[in-house]
């Protein structure tokens, strides 16, 4: 991310670009951009203005749904949507999506903050297999749910896409593996990359 930030002039800009490139056809308002990219309002305003000026994103008025005590409220809001006719869109997708999003050791290091992580496999967005059941499988003991959620949210902000993930206690994982559990087999029997294995599992990668 740091290198791309230097190339494009801002890490915030890279986050916003990835957000729209990963989610074509989806409109986001300023609040969405701030929340999803984990950036300041000042940076969000500045960078969306730049991207709108070069026509990578187009302004769009859309209906936004928000939850309230009285139910779901709908209101019109101004935001942006990816301009899929942008002249360099394929080149940007190749550079910002079909590249290493986060280094494997960095993923393991971040997840390790949540507790005793013993096994991590990545698939989906990390290997450009968009039909994968999950993007990350984490196996460990005494994992702190709140810390893990924050780690995942921070990765989502950098990548620009919501991640699907599964978290299992080691004993539960081993039981499911022995029983040929569908969730586990849907991950391990299909393309994935094992980036941490302290269990010594003999599995086809």
Residues 88 and 111 in one domain: no
**Average predicted confidence (pLDDT) for the chain:** 89
Q: What is the mean pLDDT of residues 180-190?
A: 91
What is the phi/psi pair of residue 141, to 5°? -130, 140
pLDDT band at 18 (very low <50, low <70, confident <90, very high): very high
pLDDT at residue 94, as a whole number: 83
Please check the confidence at residue 108 and state whether its pLDDT lies above 70: yes
Among the ranges given (93-102, 143-152, 166-175, 183-192), the one the predictor scored with the smallest mean pLDDT? 93-102
Nearest CA among 76, 87, 74, 101 for reference residue 19? 101
Domain stops at, among 96, 130, 147:
96
pTM confidence score: 0.76
pLDDT band at 3 (very low <50, low <70, confident <90, very high): low
- Shared domain for 109 and 193, answered yes or no, is yes
Indicate if 110 and 161 belong to the same structural domain.
yes
CATH classification at residue 7:
1.10.10.10
Of the residues 96, 127, 143, which one is the last residue of a structural domain? 96
Specify the pLDDT at position 143.
Answer: 94
- State the pLDDT at residue 4: 60
Same-domain check for residues 124 and 146: yes
* Domains: count for the chain: 2
**To the nearest whole percent, how much of the chain has pLDDT over 90?**
67
Range of the domain at 151: 104-197
How many Å apart are CA 176 and CA 178, to the nearest integer?
A: 5
């Amino acid at each position: 991310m740091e290198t791309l930030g230097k190339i494009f002039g801002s890490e915030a800009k890279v986050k916003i670009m990835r957000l729209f490139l990963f989610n074509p056809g989806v409109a986001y308002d300023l609040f969405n951009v701030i929340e999803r990219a984990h950036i300041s309002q000042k940076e969000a305003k500045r960078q969306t203005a730049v991207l709108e000026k070069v026509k990578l994103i187009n302004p769009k008025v859309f209906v936004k749904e928000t939850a309230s005590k009285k139910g779901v409220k709908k209101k019109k809001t101004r935001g942006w949507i990816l301009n899929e006719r942008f002249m360099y869109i394929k080149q940007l997708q190749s550079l910002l999506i079909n590249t290493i999003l986060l280094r494997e050791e960095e993923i393991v290091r971040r997840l390790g903050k949540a507790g005793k992580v013993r096994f991590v496999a990545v698939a989906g967005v990390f290997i450009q297999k968009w039909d994968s059941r999950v993007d990350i499988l984490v196996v460990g003991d005494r994992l702190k749910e709140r810390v893990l959620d924050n780690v995942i949210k921070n990765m989502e902000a950098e990548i620009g896409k919501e991640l699907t993930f599964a978290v299992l206690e080691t004993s539960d994982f081993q039981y499911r593996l022995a029983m040929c559990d569908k969730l586990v087999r849907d991950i391990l029997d299909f393309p994935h990359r094992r980036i941490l294995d302290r269990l010594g599992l003999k599995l086809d990668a």
